[in-house]
């Protein structure tokens, strides 16, 4: 007994292991077992590792005792494979999973483990994980000093290499990783909607382990990777499959770190695998949020929206679905934009890096502060920060606090680890627009709409000082890095410098012509920079107060400036949708980072200066590589946002108009810009083709209408006459006339499209003109106005024939009956009125809607009238008797458009709920809902043969629903190509996720060709078959 006590000191694990060893049922001789242990009591050394030898050697040596040398080698090799794997796993596996990963029969696993219950926890269940009972067992097995004395010694590097190899084999073998491994029904299936049992079935635990930890084992094996080695072969064949699996496991965020590890293991940075991994990193960062949301978008969106020279794109180009007949035009190389982070629901107004660079804070109009991991783009925390918009965020120098300023007039301090509120600093009487910590972290400065700058003690929350001197709102504050000065910028167009010690005003800089939106000190405290609504950055010499440089280049207001910590770069963010990087020493522009989406509200550098983060008006946070300087292929054609697009009647051309004052003509088949039509002096908001496709009309804020020859691009006519912007324009059915309304100048004008001559100027309305329509025979024009009247005009003479009075509120819509006998009007007074066209007399008043009427339309036989309303309903009326026939309920938002099929057997309605619905007018039954439009529907019509429904967002084939009314729930509407917010749909199924920079400000569809106009000015063409 004394021997056992001596051996157990000081390692109690000896006693515990001894007890398990003696009572192990695999050995039916407890006395003999105990004797074997005591044999080790005469060990000469008293070291702790020798104690481990005495603890574990009897157990292991028993495994080979009495065996031949050949059998011993076999047993030891099996031990190293099975037990060596168990002790080196990153996470424990069950017997069944271990057998599958190693490719070993389960009985062999059982045989090996049966005699090791004293050192391993081996559950009864095959599906429960096996664990080592004490880490000292692993230490004993890998002790390098026992390499020659311990028969079961494990080479740690070789064990990890073996496990890594088994992981690669498991993922690569038949039944391993493959495209759509879970057999998802379509490429738009969201991960959140995938049944977890389906994931576990197709990605069992051993495969999950292989996907997650093969890189870990490669790293621990200390093996370098080379071209054409097993690692490169795996990545070449299964990279996308691997990412798909990580996405299904909700682990895609881990892939960034795994690729970084692989990059450190490359033997030679000039190897192909090094280039592959660099491209893989950009590929993942660019598309990670999309991959995480919808795993199968790896094979469509991620590939087609990667640059044309991307190694991943070209390696897997055969994975792009065959039904994407025309790929979008994309950049030739990766840009400086690393990642676009989505998560905020409203514009991002402020961003900041933590001092260690491991977090980015963003503040938004959605009232939250979010913390992100800039390495992966993953959301770490959401802080429900304020009761109003968040306008400013800042980290304390030690990174232990986050400050936020809000429209609710408060500054709040938060713990970034827990998200808990630590202090609320109250004292401002208006919005807090800026916050910043002093370099020593002992003060917080806040700038407010109350025209003051306040200094606070963040430890106590007490107000220390108030600087008064600005005559307008304070938009920005900054501390000098030496802690001696505070700068403030204001709507009063000045920058003021304050002495922190005395609180006195030291200097006022007055040279900006408009409000100052941002200020910043250089790290060496020699410069102060200011950015203004006047589009200019000014650099001031702090020592002399002199203006050193004026930096010009932005085309809109500058709302953010930041210096890199080494002072070698200065970033500026602007309403022109760019971030510009400048050399503050020379004032030269180093790089322009195009956001492609919306105004930049905030910018910040990472502590190492390698990253720039920006917050945008489009609700996103963007991460940029400050060192990247790549001349990108220009796909823009425009320099500003696209406002309108339209197809030619034959679908071969697309016309677009936008805020850069231009009209562009594109070949829809090749996406090649055919013509750039310049002539407008302000934004182009309306474009249209003539019915024969031989003319293009454009209307602008410059009050002019221009007619162009789309074949040559030549300007044929400039139609001038309106005094306000052009709201709408349209060609008459025969193309002879262009009708134009400018709601603000209250005039409807008719122009001869051949000569450009003004045919008629129809004046008489006393308020905005809301609706204009031609009569069926083209002889009359009806106009409805906010002045509550409808006016009927003779097209030939321009004379006013009738003024129809009766509505008590705005007239929103007018329609002629096909037989030319009636005119219907709908009003904000909630009524529909029918008028006799010949006499102008009121025939019927339809009262049933509870809110404003947006649209009225006649059936082809003139017997029915349909009306759509803000009350979300469609109502069908008998035009002769005035009786209400049906109320069609089902929309969840305003009804904006209604139409009858030619045979009157169907009614279609379009709504702000982004759906179109088909109804049976005889029964009022809903036949079909087409949901998923990207925006409110304002126009729709049936084709003459009734086989197509055309909306302002797409064309849809229709089966004859009225032939099978017995099963109204059966699918009867099949879409070809459709835009649904961030998705492109094919056959009513989401198939392509649009990255943020490719989302549309306007769109048009012709058959299966989708044209997207973007805020960046680019136009994207996609054709699906």
CA distance 748 to 784: 10
CA distance 378 to 372: 6
pLDDT at 666 over 60: yes
* 431 vs 939, higher pLDDT: 431
Average pLDDT over residues 284-304: 95
pLDDT at 7 over 60: no
Q: In this predicted structure, what is the pLDDT of residue 636?
A: 40
pLDDT at 12 over 70: no
pLDDT at 539 over 80: yes
Cis, bond preceding 293 (omega within 30 deg of 0)? no
Q: In this predicted structure, what is the pLDDT of residue 748?
A: 86
Q: In this predicted structure, what is the pLDDT of residue 507?
A: 94
- The continuous run of DSSP H or E covering 158 comes out as helix 156-172
* 1 vs 130, higher pLDDT: 130
Q: In this predicted structure, what is the pLDDT of residue 692?
A: 86
Least confident of 113-122, 313-322, 876-885, 897-906: 113-122
CB contact set of 5 (below 8 Å; sequence gap of 6+): none
Do 844 and 835 form a contact (C-beta atoms < 8 A)?
no
Q: Where does the chain hold its CATH 2.130.10.10 domain(s)?
A: 338-625
Q: What digits encode the pLDDT tens for the residues 426-479?
A: 999 999 999 999 999 999 999 999 999 999 999 999 999 999 999 999 999 999
Q: In this predicted structure, what is the pLDDT of residue 962?
A: 43
Average pLDDT over residues 939-952: 72
Do 564 and 626 form a contact (C-beta atoms < 8 A)?
yes
Lay out the sheet containing 570-574: strands in order across.
558-563, 570-574, 578-582, 589-594
Least confident of 166-175, 254-263, 560-569, 969-978: 969-978
CA distance 40 to 6: 11
For residue 916, name the pLDDT band (cuts at 50, 70, 90).
confident
Q: How many residues does the chain have?
A: 1025
φ, ψ of residue 911 in degrees (nearest 5): -135, 165
CA distance 1024 to 188: 15
Cα dist from 244 to 179, 259, 302, 798, whole Å: 8, 15, 12, 66
Q: In this predicted structure, what is the pLDDT of residue 676?
A: 86
| CA proximity to 769, closest of 795, 751, 793 | 793
Cα dist from 691 to 646, 650, 738, whole Å: 12, 10, 11
Q: In this predicted structure, what is the pLDDT of residue 936?
A: 76
pLDDT at 25 over 60: no
CB atoms within 10 A of CB 13: 17
**Average predicted confidence (pLDDT) for the chain:** 87
pLDDT at 638 over 50: no
Q: Where are the beta strands (DSSP E) in 564-661?
A: 570-574, 578-582, 589-594, 600-605, 611-616, 621-625, 642-647, 653-658
CB atoms within 10 A of CB 950: 16
CA distance 356 to 625: 17
Q: What digits encode the pLDDT tens for the residues 345-384?
A: 999 999 999 999 999 999 999 999 999 999 888 999 999 9
* 809 vs 668, higher pLDDT: 809
For residue 701, name the pLDDT band (cuts at 50, 70, 90).
confident
Model's pTM, two decimal places?
Answer: 0.71
CA distance 761 to 721: 9
Strand 505-510 with 516-521, pairing:
unpaired
CATH number of 338-625: 2.130.10.10
CA distance 886 to 865: 11
Least confident of 568-582, 801-815, 931-945: 931-945
CA distance 456 to 770: 55
Do 918 and 937 form a contact (C-beta atoms < 8 A)?
no
Please report where in the chains the tokens 């529909």 appear, as a residue. 832
Average pLDDT over residues 227-256: 96
């Amino acid at each position: 007994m004394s021997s056992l006590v001596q051996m157990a000191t000081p390692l109690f694990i000896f006693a515990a292991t001894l007890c398990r060893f003696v009572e192990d049922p695999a050995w039916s001789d407890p006395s003999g077992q105990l004797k074997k242990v005591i044999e080790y009591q005469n060990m000469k050394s008293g070291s702790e590792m020798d104690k481990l030898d005495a603890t574990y050697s009897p157990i292991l040596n028993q495994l080979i005792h009495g065996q031949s040398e050949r059998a011993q080698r076999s047993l030891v090799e099996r031990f190293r494979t099975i037990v060596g794997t168990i002790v080196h796993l990153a996470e424990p596996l069950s017997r069944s999973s271990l057998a599958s990963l190693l490719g070993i029969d389960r009985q062999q696993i059982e045989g090996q483990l049966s005699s090791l219950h004293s050192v391993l926890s081996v559950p009864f269940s095959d599906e429960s994980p096996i664990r080592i009972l004490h880490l000292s067992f692993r230490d004993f097995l890998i002790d390098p000093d026992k390499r020659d004395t311990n028969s079961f010694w494990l080479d740690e590097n070789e064990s990890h290499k073996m496990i890594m190899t088994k992981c690669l084999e498991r993922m690569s073998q038949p039944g391993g990783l493959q495209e759509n491994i879970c057999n998802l029904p379509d490429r738009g299936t969201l991960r959140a909607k995938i049944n977890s049992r389906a994931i576990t079935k197709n990605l069992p635990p051993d495969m999950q382990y292989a996907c997650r930890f093969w890189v870990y084992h490669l790293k621990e094996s200390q093996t370098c990777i080379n071209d054409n080695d097993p690692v490169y072969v795996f990545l070449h064949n299964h990279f996308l499959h691997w990412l798909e699996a990580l996405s299904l496991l909700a682990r895609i965020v881990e892939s960034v770190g795994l690729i970084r590890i692989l990059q450190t293991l490359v033997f030679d940075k000039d190897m192909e695998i090094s280039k592959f991994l660099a491209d893989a990193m950009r590929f993942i960062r660019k598309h990670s949020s999309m991959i995480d949301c919808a795993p199968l978008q790896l094979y469509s969106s991620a590939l087609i929206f990667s640059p044309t020279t991307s190694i991943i794109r070209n390696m897997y180009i055969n994975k792009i679905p065959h039904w994407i007949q025309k790929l979008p035009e994309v950049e030739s190389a990766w840009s400086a934009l690393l990642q676009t982070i989505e998560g905020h629901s409203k514009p991002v107004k402020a961003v900041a890096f933590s001092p260690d660079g491991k977090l980015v804070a963003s503040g938004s109009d959605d009232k939250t502060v979010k913390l992100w991991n800039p390495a992966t783009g993953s959301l770490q925390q959401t802080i429900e920060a304020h009761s109003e918009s968040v306008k400013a965020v800042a980290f304390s120098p030690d990174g232990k606090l986050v400050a936020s300023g809000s429209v609710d007039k408060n500054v709040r301090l938060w713990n970034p680890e827990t998200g808990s509120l630590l202090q609320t600093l109250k004292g401002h009487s208006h919005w807090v627009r800026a916050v910043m910590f002093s370099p020593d972290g002992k003060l917080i400065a806040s700038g407010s709409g109350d025209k003051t700058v306040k200094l606070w003690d963040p430890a106590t929350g007490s107000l220390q000082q108030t600087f008064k001197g600005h005559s307008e709102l304070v938009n920005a504050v900054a501390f000098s890095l030496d802690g001696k000065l505070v700068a403030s910028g204001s709507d009063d167009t000045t920058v003021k410098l304050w002495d922190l010690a005395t609180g006195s005003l030291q200097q006022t800089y007055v040279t900006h012509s408009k409000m100052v939106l941002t200020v910043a000190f250089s790290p060496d405290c020699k410069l102060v920079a200011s950015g203004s609504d006047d589009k200019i950055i000014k650099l001031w010499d702090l020592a002399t107060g002199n203006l050193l440089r004026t930096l010009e280049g932005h085309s809109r207001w500058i709302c953010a400036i930041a210096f890199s910590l080494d002072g070698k770069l200065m970033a500026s963010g602007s309403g022109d949708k760019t971030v510009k990087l400048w050399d503050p020493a020379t004032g030269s522009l180093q790089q322009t980072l195009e956001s492609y989406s919306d105004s930049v509200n905030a910018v910040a550098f990472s502590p190492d200066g390698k990253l720039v983060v920006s917050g945008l008006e489009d609700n996103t946070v963007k991460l940029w590589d400050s060192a990247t300087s790549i001349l990108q292929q220009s796909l823009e054609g425009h320099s500003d946002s696209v406002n309108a697009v339209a197809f030619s009647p034959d679908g071969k051309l697309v016309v677009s108009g936008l805020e850069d004052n231009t009209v562009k003509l594109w070949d829809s088949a090749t996406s090649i810009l055919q013509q750039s039509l310049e002539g407008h002096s302000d934004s182009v908001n309306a474009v249209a083709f003539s019915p024969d496709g031989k003319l293009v009309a454009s209307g602008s804020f410059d009050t002019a209408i221009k007619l162009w020859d789309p074949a040559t691009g030549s300007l044929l006519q400039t139609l001038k006459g309106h005094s306000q912007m052009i709201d709408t324009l349209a060609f008459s059915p025969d193309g002879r006339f262009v009708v134009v309304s400018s709601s603000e100048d209250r005039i409807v004008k008719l122009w001869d499209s051949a000569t450009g001559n003004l045919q008629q100027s129809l004046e008489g309305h006393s308020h905005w003109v809301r609706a204009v329509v031609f009569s069926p025979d083209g002889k009359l024009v009806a106009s409805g106005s906010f002045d509550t009247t409808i006016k009927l005009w003779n097209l030939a003479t321009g004379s006013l024939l009738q003024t129809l009075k009766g509505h008590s509120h705005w007239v929103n819509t007018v329609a002629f009956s096909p037989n030319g006998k009636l005119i219907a009007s709908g009003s904000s007074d909630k009524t529909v009125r029918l008028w006799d066209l010949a006499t102008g007399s009121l025939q019927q008043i339809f009262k049933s809607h509870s809110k404003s009427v947006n649209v009225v339309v006649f059936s082809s036989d003139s017997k029915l009238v349909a009306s759509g309303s803000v009350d979300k309903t469609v109502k069908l009326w008998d035009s002769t008797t005035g009786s209400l026939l049906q109320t069609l309920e089902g929309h969840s938002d305003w009804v904006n458009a209604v139409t009858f099929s030619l045979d009157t057997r169907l009614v279609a309605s379009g709504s702000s709920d982004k759906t179109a619905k088909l109804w049976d007018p005889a029964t009022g039954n809903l036949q079909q809902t087409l949901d998923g439009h990207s925006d409110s529907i304002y126009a729709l019509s049936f084709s003459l043969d009734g086989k197509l429904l055309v909306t302002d967002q797409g064309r849809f084939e229709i089966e004859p629903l009225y032939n099978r009314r017995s099963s109204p729930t059966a699918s009867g509407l099949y879409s070809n190509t459709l835009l649904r917010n961030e998705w492109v749909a094919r056959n009513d199924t989401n198939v392509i996720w649009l990255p943020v920079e490719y989302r549309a400000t306007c769109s048009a569809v012709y058959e299966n060709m989708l044209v997207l106009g973007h805020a960046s000015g680019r136009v994207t063409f996609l054709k699906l078959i």
